[in-house]
Amino acid sequence: MQQKMSDMQKWIPARLIRQQEQLLCKWLYADDIPYTDPFFDETLAKCLSHPFNSKPFACVSAISELEMLADAVESVEPTAFIFHISRCGSTLLSQMLAIPSGSVSLAEVPFFDEILRSVSLTETEKDKALQAAIRLYGQKRKGNENQLFIKLDSWHVFFYDTFRRLYPHVPCVFLYRDPYDVLQSHRKHRGMQAVPGVIEPAVFGFTPDAISHLDQDAYTALVLERYLQVYLELREKSGPSLWFNYADGPANMIRGIAAMSGHHWSAEEMQQIGERSRYHSKHPAVAFKEILSHDQRPAYLGPATRYYEMLAQKLSSKA
C-alpha cells in the first residue's frame, strides 16, 4: 500500500477484491461524510463521488495489513451490536442512534458481511480482519466520538458466537416482530435474505434441495423460522443483552439503549430523536404510515409464529 499509516485517517476498507489469486482490500476516503444513511451502501456511494476516490487508480492493500493500519487510527470501542430479523425497527433505531453528538451508528456495513461470509479466509483471519475493520469504521473523524452502535445484517445472527467471542462484554440488542407483519413488508420490497439464493443457503443452515421447491413467501417464512429459532436459543445463553419487540415502539427502544449505554443525551437530542421516529426509516422525508393486511395467516408461517410466541412469552415472564 502506497499510503502512509499516518495518512489513513478517514479512510475505510470498502470491499474485498481478488487480484492474481491474492485477496486484497479496496479502500475509500470517507472524509467527513456523515454515517447517517439508512444503509451503509448508500454512504459508500457518496464516498465514491469524492475526488480522492474518482482517480483512475484504486487504493488497495493486502488484507493482512488491515490490523496494522487499524492500529494507526484512534477509534471508539463498540457500544452495542444490533441484531434483528428484518423489518422490525432496526433501520429506524440505527437512524435515531446517529443523532446524538459523539455517536457513530453503522447500518449494515457491506465490508463486515464480506469478511464474515468469505470462503477464502480462515477463522483466525476473519477474526483479525473483522476487529480491524470495526476499529477503522469506528475511528474518531471529528474527535468527539464516544459511542459506536453497529447494526448488523439480519443473517448475522448466525455469526453471533463470533461477535460474543471477540467482544464478550459488549451488549447485544435483539429486535424481533410478528413474522406475518415481517412477511407483508417483504412482499412490498424484498430484502436479500427474502430471495432464494441471493444469500448462500448454507448461511441459514439450508441445503439447496430443501429450498428448491419453495416460492418467495414460503422461503421467507423458513428464513424467519430459523431466525426466531436461534433467537430462542440465544435468549438462554446470551451475555449482556436487550430484547425489543417491534410492538414496544421506538421510544422504549431508545430509552432502554440510553440506560444501557450510560450516556446522557441532551433534551434537544432526545427531541430530535423523537421527531425522527415519526418518519419512514428508509425514507427520512416521508411520514411513516404502515398498512398491514389482516387476512388469514398462511399455514407455512406456523413454525415461525410458534417460535415468535414462545420468545415473547419467555421475555415477558423474565421482564
pTM for the predicted model, two decimal places: 0.92
Q: Residue 285's pLDDT is what?
A: 59
Average pLDDT of the segment spanning 122-148: 96
CA proximity to 74, closest of 33, 135, 131, 13: 135
| Domain parsing of the chain, residue ranges | 71-317
Contact present, 211 and 281 (Cβ < 8 Å): no
Mean local confidence (pLDDT), 91-120? 95
Q: What is the pLDDT, as a whole number, of residue 317?
A: 72
- Would you say residue 289 has pLDDT above 50? yes
CA distances from 263 to 58, 93, 147, 209 (A): 39, 16, 8, 49
Place of cell 427531541: 271
Residue 124 in grid coordinates: 483466525
The CATH superfamily assigned to 71-317 is: P-loop containing nucleotide triphosphate hydrolases (3.40.50.300)
Report d(CA 133, CA 13) in Å as an integer: 7
- What are the angstrom distances between the C-alpha of 53 and each of 11, 45, 49, 56, 283? 10, 11, 7, 9, 27
